[in-house]
Amino acid sequence: MSTPIRANSILPATREDIELHTADGLTLVGELAVPADRPPVATLVCLHPLPTHGGMMDSHVFRKAAWRLPALAGVAVLRFNTRGTGSVRGTSEGAFDSAVGERFDVAAAIEYAEFAELPNLWLLGWSFGTDLALKHGCDPAVTGAILLSPPLRFSEPADLAVWARSGKPVTALVPEHDDYLQPPAAAERFAAIPQATVIGVDGAKHLWVGDAETVLDEVVRIVAPDVPTPLPRTWDGPMESGDASAYADRTVAAFADVPPPEGL
Q: Is the pLDDT of residue 256 over 50?
A: no
Please say whether the beta carbons of 233 and 246 come within 8 A: no
When pLDDT is cut at 50, 70 and 90, the band that residue 212 belongs to is very high
- C-alpha dist (Å) from residue 169 to 122, 128, 131, 142, 214: 10, 19, 16, 10, 20
pLDDT for the residue 244? 74
pLDDT for the residue 251? 53
- Averaged pLDDT for residues 75-91: 97
- Angle of helix 102-115 relative to helix 128-136, nearest 10 degrees, comes to 70
pLDDT for the residue 249? 61
When pLDDT is cut at 50, 70 and 90, the band that residue 261 belongs to is very low
Q: Is the pLDDT of residue 159 over 80?
A: yes
Burial of 248 (0-12, 13-18, 19+ CB in 10 A): exposed
| Least confident interval from 93-107, 175-189, 248-262 | 248-262
- Averaged pLDDT for residues 198-219: 97
Cα 44 to its chain centre, rounded Å, is: 7
Q: Is the pLDDT of residue 253 over 60?
A: no
Q: Is the pLDDT of residue 176 over 80?
A: yes
CA-wise closest residue to 95 among 24, 18, 17: 24
When pLDDT is cut at 50, 70 and 90, the band that residue 243 belongs to is confident
SS3 192: helix
List of domains in the chain: 7-227 (3.40.50.1820)
- Averaged pLDDT for residues 150-154: 96
Please say whether the beta carbons of 66 and 43 come within 8 A: no
SS3 130: helix
pLDDT for the residue 247? 72
- Averaged pLDDT for residues 233-249: 85
Q: Is the pLDDT of residue 262 over 80?
A: no
When pLDDT is cut at 50, 70 and 90, the band that residue 80 belongs to is very high
Please say whether the beta carbons of 200 and 174 come within 8 A: yes
Please say whether the beta carbons of 94 and 167 come within 8 A: no
pLDDT digits over 43-65, tens only? 999 999 999 999 999 999 999 99
Please state the pTM of the whole predicted model. Answer: 0.94
pLDDT for the residue 190? 98
